[in-house]
Structure 1
Amino acid sequence: MLFLIRLVNMLFQIYFYLIIANVLLSWFPHNRSNAIFRFIHEMTEPFLNLFRRLLPFTRLSSIDFSPIVALLALELVYHLVLKLLYALAI
């Protein structure tokens, strides 16, 4: 069970950093055919678009706050999943 908890922890951390990387990459001009950019974009955009659709106020003018809301939601889900896994481990 400890392996599963560590795996879930690692996966959530990786996804957290992918969202951060997507935000940072959006600030700079880039080549959209770049494989790394495409990977990060394809991994994070479906999750971010969920918040853009459900909460249209996350896009104010040219500033997109959906990554902040997405990171908060991801953190909440992360803690709920960990609590569930720890409860099952006991």
Structure 2
Amino acid sequence: MLKVIAACGNGMGSSQIIKMKIEKVFKKLGVQVSIHHSSIGEAKTQASGYDVVFCSEALKKNFARAEEGGTIVVGLKNLLSEQEIETKIKELVIDKK
């Protein structure tokens, strides 16, 4: 089971929306995941304990250290696009595992 965290600027609405969207896509793809959502500050300190981080493209640089440690960081241009999420999961998560 993959451990996933969805992060946004303050950990409220956007991260919850990302969580719901990625949960739906992982389910569609038949991948079991455990998903947490939080603020960028909290996620930054916890990211190395997760397999995958989802955030907006603009926040991706905050996870450089976790990425160096092997955490997959997925930056999204459109947080609401299930198609973008599915494409990135296939390219960055499924193909790498």
Q: So what's the TM-score if we normalise by structure 2?
A: 0.26
Structure with a larger share of its residues in helix:
1
User: Which structure has the greater CA radius of gyration?
Assistant: 1
Q: Which has the higher contact order (CA 8 A, sep 6+)?
A: 1
TM-score by length of 1: 0.28
